[in-house]
Structure 1
Amino acid sequence: MSAKENLGDYYADSAYTPTKRQQWEAANPERDTIIGSRLTWNRRTQENGTNEEYGYNNIAISQNWEAQREEKGLVGDDIFKNMNVRYDHQCIMPPNYKAKAGFFHTTTAICMAGGYISIFFLFFLVPLLFVPAFFNGDYQGSWEAAKGLIKTLLFLSALFYTFYRLGNWLLKNHSDIFLGMKKSPLWQANRQTGLLTIYDPRNAWKPRLEAPFHECDAFLQSSPDTQGSATYSLILYHPFQRIRQKLDAQFPPTNMPGELVAAWQFLQRYMDVSQPLPDVPGLEIHRHKDPTTAAADQQQGRNPRYWRDMDEASVQQIQEEKYRKNIRLR
């Protein structure tokens, strides 16, 4: 797509710009809401994104997806139907994992954490059992208590390690099970059309909602994790259709609310056709295909291989800088 091409020939009339949101808010000051912290819309979103958006591996992942798409000649919805994911200059359509995939992900993560906790207790809690013996001289009693605790912790460590290794074995040898994905999407955000589509989870590819992106409100909702700490999710909610959608598939829940504020800013920037695409590693190979982005990059003299020519350590340094900035966002 040439940077000189008329933008009106490429973007739909419904494509998002901040002016549309400002006008919509002015026309709808009283609207339905949900529990949670409603996030603000930015008139001009700064360059931002979550820690994961700046991952160095995203370069190779995007190149792999693009190679598959070109090899198979995929366009439009066929991209997701064949690859179970879409992430480019036109559309974000994240994977829709099956319930068993979520179970394997969660179980493997819990087992890894459980193993570390068991080892921690083994080396730091067991010695504490001998502290009373220094005062009362009952070393035999302390040793009996320590033996029981050691047996329990060794059993738990072995159990956690076994399930952790099983999860990794499945990931390596049977990724179709560990990363099982449905052939239909959860939602899509389309930059070219400006529409947010939420699909019916019980009826593949049937939209529950198809509405202009600027008509949705964004919320942070919190719920306790297994340790009782607050875990936050980013939710889009249409106040008139009263339909909500968690964006966990693209922006995972976290105990750092600033990361999801950055995710919300990233999504706004992605959808805003008056601004270039977010400058993140995974979108670099698509920047020249988007008219607004191509024109801005040409004007600024941006190196089209900015991320791809950078070494991994340098990308990780930028990623860390972004993360430190994000955790302070509110």
Structure 2
Amino acid sequence: MQQDYYAPTAYELQYWKTTPKPTAHNIKGDEVLDYGDYAHLVPSTYLKGLWSSLQSAEVVEDDGLFQFNHQCIRTLSGGRAWLGGLCQFGGMLLLITGVMFLIGLCIYSIIFSFDSFSSAAEFIKDIFPIVLTFLCAGGGMLLLVRLPSPYSEWIFGKPGPSLELNRQTGIITFWHYGWLTGRLKSKQSYNFMEFIPYLQPLVGPTPTAAGCNIVFIHKDDMSIQFSSVGLANFASIADGLAWWDFLQCYMDVAEPLPDSPTLEICRHLDPTSVKFDKKNARPARYWRDMTEQEYEAAEQSMVQKVQDTFY
């Protein structure tokens, strides 16, 4: 391991093999996954249909928000995103209610003709403020969710980091926010080696719809956990296992970065990957210089490799 770049806490499989193995939690129906035995796979999430996006891909500097690069994989919290959803749903509901009231008012006026103009005006005077209230409230709520920054951030909060898997340090970090205020409540960090991975089968309405989730639970505290949700979408159980293989290679600093299109643009910034690529004469633009047909062929080849590995 190159100590001048990677932290002493960075994950290496060879070191992990020398440490005492934690006792797995007894979780019914879940299968404990093994570390090691890399097949160097790329799951469909990080491969399928990405050719067009590679044509203009550039290295994005760390801005404290979502990241997927040589240093870390970081997901986001939506701040008070629930409030935006509430405004969107509530605004639509109020607008529809107001329009329905207005239509109902017209139908009522036609069916029940009034004796005089004054009686009709009196009826409209009593009902119209209710309709106007619904329409204004609904329109106002819909306008709130469409406000530009920084006004929208004042109301709905700023997105912030939620989960980070750091290759450079080997540390998993959690950020916890207050659901009402959206403000940071706590930040917790643990070593990647402290987590036990479990394969959690998810049975769909038909046998072909079966999928899975991969859950990482801390060896000492089951309340400390994260999962593949928000990090990848699996087409099958084999695809989920391919993601576990991908993640291990990503975190292991003795290994180069996984050879995926999404990480190619930053391979030259990772010392282990630079050494590997130089030794194996890997083209710096291996994925980006492919034609669309070549990319699709490589994609299908990886799908077949995943199937052959796990079936």
Q: Would you call these one fold, judging by a TM-score over 0.5? A: yes
- 1:213 pairs with 2:198: no
One-letter amino acid of the counterpart of residue 193, structure 1? T
Summarize the Cα distance change of 1:319–1:266 in structure 2 as closer, same or farther, 3 Å threshold.
Answer: same
Of Structure 1 and Structure 2, the greater helix share is in 1
- 1:199 pairs with 2:190: no
Question: Post-superposition shift, 1:325?
Answer: 2.7
**Which residue of 272, 287, 292 maps to 2:267?**
287
One-letter amino acid of the counterpart of residue 230, structure 1? A
Flag structure 1 segments of 5+ consecutive residues without an equivalent. 1-5, 104-172
Pairing of 1:278-317 with structure 2 (within 5 A): 278-317=258-297
Summarize the Cα distance change of 1:263–1:316 in structure 2 as closer, same or farther, 3 Å threshold.
Answer: same
Question: Post-superposition shift, 1:182?
Answer: 6.5
Q: Name 2:159's counterpart in structure 1.
A: 183
Q: How far apart, in 2, do the equivalents of 1:39 and 1:15 lie?
A: 20
TM-score (norm 2): 0.66
- Higher alpha-carbon Rg: 2
Question: Post-superposition shift, 1:54?
Answer: 1.7
Contact 1:234/1:251 (CA < 8 Å) preserved in 2?
A: no
| Aligned residues with identical type, % of pairs | 27
Q: Where does structure 1 differ by over 6 angstroms across 4 or more consecutive aligned residues?
A: 100-103
Q: What SS does structure 2 have at the residue aligned with 1:15?
A: coil
Question: Post-superposition shift, 1:274?
Answer: 0.4
Q: Name 1:138's counterpart in structure 2.
A: none
Summarize the Cα distance change of 1:61–1:306 in structure 2 as closer, same or farther, 3 Å threshold.
Answer: closer
Contact 1:188/1:197 (CA < 8 Å) preserved in 2?
A: yes
Pairing of 1:200-279 with structure 2 (within 5 A): 200=176, 202=178, 209-225=188-204, 229-242=209-222, 243-254=224-235, 256-279=236-259
**Which residue of 1, 5, 8 maps to 1:13?**
8
Q: How far apart, in 2, do the equivalents of 1:21 and 1:12 lie?
A: 15
Contact 1:221/1:232 (CA < 8 Å) preserved in 2?
A: yes
1:191-223 superposed Cα distances (whole Å, 9 cap, x missing partner): 000111233254655556411112211111133
Q: What SS does structure 2 have at the residue aligned with 1:94?
A: strand
Question: Post-superposition shift, 1:308?
Answer: 0.9
Summarize the Cα distance change of 1:182–1:196 in structure 2 as closer, same or farther, 3 Å threshold.
Answer: same
Question: Post-superposition shift, 1:187?
Answer: 1.1
Pairing of 1:45-64 with structure 2 (within 5 A): 45-57=38-50, 60=53, 64=57
- Give the root-mean-square deviation of aligned CA atoms: 3.4
Pairing of 1:23-42 with structure 2 (within 5 A): 23-24=18-19, 27-35=20-28, 36-42=30-36
1:91-130 superposed Cα distances (whole Å, 9 cap, x missing partner): 0113446569999xxxxxxxxxxxxxxxxxxxxxxxxxxx
User: Structure 1 stretch 193-202 or stretch 92-101: which is displaced more?
Assistant: 92-101
Summarize the Cα distance change of 1:31–1:273 in structure 2 as closer, same or farther, 3 Å threshold.
Answer: same
Contact 1:95/1:249 (CA < 8 Å) preserved in 2?
A: no
TM-score (norm 1): 0.62
Contact 1:195/1:212 (CA < 8 Å) preserved in 2?
A: yes
Aligned residue pairs total 237
**Which residue of 289, 292, 305 maps to 1:325?**
305
